[in-house]
Every structure is written in structure tokens, then in C-alpha cells.
Structure 1
Amino acid sequence: MTPAAALPTVLVTRPQPQADDWVARLQALGAPAQALPLMRIVRREGFDAAVRAAWSDLARHRLVMFVSPNAVLAFFAGRPEGAAWPAQTLAGATGPGTIAALRAQGVEARSIAAPPEDAASFDAESLWRHALAGLDWSGQLVLIVRGEDGRDWLAATLRQAGARVDCLAAYARAEPAWTAAECAALAAVGRDPAAHVWLFSSSQCIAHLLAAPLEAGATSALRRVPALATHPRIAETARAAGFAAVVPVRPDPLEVRQALDPSQEPQA
């Protein structure tokens, strides 16, 4: 196996606390990794009252869809004491991270609607195709817990199928604070592009990176760092932004580890 020291350091750009979790999982697989979040999650004003109202009406919903682990954390932070997830309400998730967040909150696996582990992609289209399309949505209530903005594809698809869909904005996505330490970390990456690889899980993280307050020429160096992208749309964004080497991967630490050295098996 290629020694970990010979592998590039994976720069995990997810917001915290997911970034630290990914770093730990990658390191356990023998991959050097560093948290370099390119997005902050900011709780929205007024969300607490909205989530309390949603919990009081939860059992009437056929589906509550969570777009990310952060949506799960925000929603369950407002759970009334002693409240359990209603057995007849599905908890929707597009990928493994959100599934894990729901399970950590006590939602049973049988209540979670999600693409299978071996799905070709983890997104709203895959969730619909694998878990939701075969259900009767006529007159059913659906709540989508998401960021301040987001894709409307699933909401539109469910409405076309007859569901009554509401969206609840749990948080806003903000750029990093760009502290001196964060800017120094980016500058260090730019000085040695070949020793690093980006792991992009959001197109917005790419935009934040390119808008970082760095010295002239520094952004060009950061574009020379190879990039792994967890969705084809993110890969397209990275290529359009000028990243020369972009490889799509599924959002799975094992696949990320294998992408660093495809000829070798990762550590057990």
C-alpha cells in the first residue's frame, strides 16, 4: 500500500462539525486529511418558533425531507422534550451523512427514505427514483427542511404528484470568516499544490474559495490543486472555475481514499 505520507492531504471543505468527522474517517483509512471549511452554517433568526410549530404538526406529514446533516441538527435541536419521530412520517435523506445524522437522533432505519448505499448518485433525483416515486402523494403533506435557499426540483416534483409542500429554512450558508489562520492555511496550500487535493461537496464552497481575500496570484495556485467532487454538478462548477484536474467521487470516505491511489486497497 502507498504510505500515507506519500499521498496528498485531502482538504475537507465541508462546514463544521462535518469537516472534522470526515477528517477522522479519512485518517482511519490511512489518508492524510485536513479540515479547511469553506462554508459556515448560520442559524436563521426566527427558526426556533418555526421548528416548534413543525414538531407540533409532524404526525400529519407523510414526509419531512432533510437536505443535509445541518438541516437535521437544526431541526432536532428544537425537538420538544420527550417527542418521538412519528412512525407514519418518513424522514427523507439524499445521502449517507444525512442518514447518519437522522439515526444519531433516534430515527429508526425503517422511517428513513433514501437512495440505497450502492446508488450511482446521492441527490434529490436519486431519492425520488429509488424511494419516493412509487408512493401515492395525492393530498399528502410534505415539509422540506433546508438552507435559506436551495434547489426546488424535489418540491416541484412532489407538487406535480399531488403533494402539499412547504419549505422550512433552517440556516443560511455563509462564507468563512477569513481569519488570519484561515488565510494562512490557504496560502500554505497554494505554495505546494501537488501535496494537496480538494474535496468539494458544494459548489458554493468553490465560489467562496475563489472569493477569498488572498494576495494576487494566490487563487491561481489554488486552482492547480487537484479536486475531488462529490456530485457531477459540483465537478462541472469546478471545471468551469478553472480547476485543471477534477475527479467525481461518491460522498463516501472509502471511495475518496481509493481515488487518491486507485491501484491500492485502503487500510482496514
Structure 2
Amino acid sequence: MATHQPDPQRALTNLKGRRILICRPEPEASRLARVFRAAGAECRLMPLLIREPLPETPEQRTLMQELDNFSHIVAVSPFAARLLLNEIDNWWPQIPMGIQWYCVGSGTATEFARHGIRARQPKQGWTSEALLKLPSLQNLAGDKVLIARGEQGRELIRQTLEQRGATVSVLPLYRRSQPYYPPEQVQEIFGDFQPEVVIALSGETLNNLNETAPDYHQSLHSAFVVVPAERVAQQARAAGYRNLLVPEGLDDQSLVTSVASWLTPEAGNNGKPSKDARD
């Protein structure tokens, strides 16, 4: 049965006056807030991850010096790509030739493009699982792969590529930590502002949200929560969240348009989130 699809531009008008809490790290949080505010939404920022570049190690220097030995290089996030490219600029007068570059989403692809690199990415989806479906990552016997990422993270890409015959090196470039927010700031956001929509684009962000606002779980579980993928949606459901949306994309405009479209009465929600979002 055909269903009505709200016009994206018309849907943006439904954001006027909506209370949006953005939990992305900076500078992404402020950048996304500008797009929501341009559509009339009210925003609060509460970054729930701090990313800190790691100091250079002998292992990192060795990997940088041997960069031209790798057949494939994967960056798991825009921040990882940015730090990797900065390191390459420090070590190489020009980017080595013959490497196939990979990324999960459009934000990372944009970082690569700024350095003249055309990275391969999934045509549909923006998860590790989608990346691993690329044809050029199927038969890797004898190939060397470098993965640029945070100090800790999912091991799916590394483990899968090793199973496919690759020799995989992991290059940790940054660490993530949970920031502290004083009780009065937590009260202002969750007690006074009372967000209708929460942007939480990782499982770690969701965990930190739960730990930051333990006294507001009931209201949070009724809020409209945007998560990056079905894997995180399952984690959110297990934690008690009911109103979930996996957006059409993770770039700023896709996030804003997806939220606006889902909140429109034409979407069947009467302007309110639905617990069946993307189930």
C-alpha cells in the first residue's frame, strides 16, 4: 500500500518552536544546531563525548612511514580522517599513490575530498556492515589494510577483513571520554527546557546520556530520540526508549529533514513521535 511522504521543504516548517537537544561532539553539535535553528527550532547543546587526539607513538610513526605499503586505508569517522590526513601531511610531501581509500559516511568522504582523495563508501547505509559489503573488500588475501579510528571502538571491520585474508593494522588517533555536567545544568536542560527531540548518534552517546541524567529517564524515554543505525536503536529499546528514528542520512541537512518529516502530521504522527519509527 502506498503511504504519503511529506514534502521535505514543507516539513521543515514543522520544526518551528520544537525543542531539540543535540548531544554530538563539537564542532559538529554547533554546526547542526545552526541548521535546526534556521528552520525555527530551539536548540540546546550537550556534547556527551569529548575527543582528544592521542600523542604520537613509535608505532604510529612506523605506520606513517610505511603508509605506501598499504593497499587499503579505512577511516571510520570524519574526525579519524581529519587526524589521519594531518599526520600524512606531516610525513609525506604528497599522498602515496595506489591506495584505495574507504569511509562509512558522507562526512568522512568530504574530509578525504578536501585532500583530493576520492574515497569509496557504501551506496546505501553508513554502518560498518554496509562498508564491508563493498566488492573491493571481499577478497583480500595478501593485502595490507590500515584502519584509522579512535582508541576504542567496534572490532567488526578489523575482524571481518582479517577473516577475508587481509593483514590489518589499527591506527588509534584519538580517545573518547565522557564530559561532566553540573547538576544545575542538567536540571536546566532536562527539567526546564525539556527536550522533545534528542540527537544521540552513537551507542556510547546514548550510554552517557543515561548516566548524565539518571533522574530524568522517564521523560527521556518519552522523548523522540534520533540514533544512527538499527544496532543502536536496539540498544535504545533495551534501555527503555520508545520513540526512535534512524534518519535518512547523518549529514546535517539529512538529519534536520528526517526529523522534520517524521514530526509532520502528514507522516501519521500528528506532530508527535511514534514508537514504531524505523522498527
Query: TM-score band (shorter)?
Result: 0.7 to 0.9
Is it true that 1:209 corresponds to 2:213 in the alignment?
no
User: How much has 1:162 moved relative to structure 2?
Assistant: 1.5
Give the match for residue 272 of structure 2.
none
Give the match for residue 234 of structure 1.
232
Q: How far apart in 2 are the matches of 1:264 and 1:58?
A: 52
TM-aligned CA distance change 1:199 to 1:76, over 3 Å: same
Give the match for residue 170 of structure 1.
173
Give the match for residue 87 of structure 1.
97
TM-aligned CA distance change 1:59 to 1:245, over 3 Å: same
Over aligned residue pairs, what C-alpha RMSD do you find? 2.7
TM-aligned CA distance change 1:194 to 1:245, over 3 Å: farther
Is it true that 1:101 corresponds to 2:111 in the alignment?
yes
| Aligned partner (choices 51, 54, 69) of residue 44 of structure 1 | 54
Q: Which runs of 5+ in 2 are unaligned?
A: 1-9, 267-279
Question: Could you tell which deviates more after superposition, 83-92 or 228-237?
Answer: 83-92
Q: Alignment length, in residue pairs?
A: 252
Post-superposition Cα deviations, 1:98-131, rounded to whole Å, max 9, x if no partner, equal 1122223x0422xx12112xx1x21112112135
Question: Could you tell which deviates more after superposition, 138-147 or 192-201?
Answer: 192-201
Give the match for residue 114 of structure 1.
121
Q: How far apart in 2 are the matches of 1:48 and 1:103?
A: 27
Contact persistence 1:48–1:78 (CA under 8 A): no
Post-superposition Cα deviations, 1:167-195, rounded to whole Å, max 9, x if no partner, equal 121121110132x3xx5443233225764
User: How much has 1:243 moved relative to structure 2?
Assistant: 1.9
Q: How far apart in 2 are the matches of 1:103 and 1:209?
A: 33
Question: Could you tell which deviates more after superposition, 198-207 or 184-193?
Answer: 184-193
User: How much has 1:86 moved relative to structure 2?
Assistant: 1.9
Q: How far apart in 2 are the matches of 1:107 and 1:123?
A: 24
Contact persistence 2:19–2:193 (CA under 8 A): no
TM-score by length of 2: 0.79
Question: Could you tell which deviates more after superposition, 2-11 or 84-93?
Answer: 2-11
Give the match for residue 64 of structure 1.
73
Q: How far apart in 2 are the matches of 1:23 and 1:102?
A: 24
Give the match for residue 225 of structure 1.
223
Is it true that 1:197 corresponds to 2:197 in the alignment?
yes
Give the match for residue 161 of structure 2.
158
TM-score by length of 1: 0.82
Q: Which runs of 5+ in 1 are unaligned?
A: none
How high is the sequence identity, in percent, across the aligned residues?
Answer: 22
